[in-house]
Amino acid sequence: MSTRLRDAGRNTGVAPEFTVDPAMLDAISPSGDRGGVVLGSGLKGEPLTVSALRSQPTRIVLVGGLYLARQVAMRAMATGAWVVVATGRPAAWQVLQQAAGTRDGRPSPLVQIRRLSPVELPRPSEDAPLLVVTDGGPTPQDLFPPRSPWQTTVYVLPYLHPQAGTTANAADLVLMQRLPAGQAELAARIWRLPPQMMRQLTTLKDDQVVALGTNLWRPLRLVTTQKEQQLLGPVRRGD
């Protein structure tokens, strides 16, 4: 798997530097690893970071609620990413524009909230990576497939649906919150999980997530800063 989950601060590779408005850093949690996005903490409390914004097209699937999706988007913003959200529920994503603040009295251009229809995207680059969030239900249309370096497309699935198997299988990284037994069985079929992993998906706490990829199975605990709690509320599962 090319999207690596790692302990923050232990990466020895070269990552780009980003310039972020100080007001944004006051509102959202910055990454502990340049170019990486802090997802949460491991079993020993160590911060865990994913290199989700990178020099190759990347797909991430989130199976869970809005809390997880919005937190991932906010933390990508903290590394300097442009964020475009395509959604049928724009009011649910206004908090991102609130977090981004204003520039010259206008909403920050770093966040764009759009309808579920194809639009021209900002051109991503190493200095300005692009995170595209597709919030289109359990069987999303592939409106903005990642085709260029420094573009990451995140697919927000409120639950696993059999018809989402193609999208799920194409992902470089999957983040899953607790699943009911039937959906855990579907996850086991999609990703060929052994019984113990399937059972673990049904017993995750509200603040726990499993990161899944090639040669990767890593439970982690979501951690929210005080500023994020003011914007998103407490850590939770579901919408």
For residue 83, the enclosing domain spans 5-232
Q: What angle do CA 68, 43, 36 make, to 5 degrees?
A: 50
Domain annotation covers residue 154: yes
Identify any residues that bridge with 58 across adjacent strands, giving them in sequence order: 152
Q: Specify the pLDDT at position 109.
A: 81
Q: Tens of pLDDT along 49-98?
A: 888 899 999 999 999 889 999 999 999 998 889 999 999 999 999 999 98
Task: Determine the Cα–Cα distance for residues 188 and 186; give it in Å rounded to an integer.
Answer: 5
Domain annotation covers residue 237: no
Residues 6+ apart with CB under 8 A from 229: none
Domain annotation covers residue 196: yes
Q: Specify the pLDDT at position 4.
A: 52
Give SS3 for 220.
strand
Domain annotation covers residue 238: no
What is the domain-level CATH number for residue 140? 3.40.50.300
Q: Tens of pLDDT along 222-239?
A: 988 888 889 998 888 877
* CA-closest candidate to residue 237, choices 181, 161, 178: 178
User: Half-sphere exposure of residue 109, counting CA atoms within 13 Å on the CB side?
Assistant: 4
Domain annotation covers residue 191: yes
Task: Determine the Cα–Cα distance for residues 57 and 79; give it in Å rounded to an integer.
Answer: 17
Q: How many domains does the chain fold into?
A: 1
Domain annotation covers residue 145: yes
Whether this prediction's pTM lies above 0.95 is answered by no
Domain annotation covers residue 60: yes
Q: How far is CA 231 from CA 99, 226, 238, in A?
A: 8, 9, 16
Domain annotation covers residue 239: no
* CA-closest candidate to residue 133, choices 74, 91, 209: 74
Residue listed under structure tokens 């809005």: 66
State the amino acid at position 218 in one-letter form.
Answer: R
Q: Which residues of the chain have pLDDT under 70?
A: 1-35
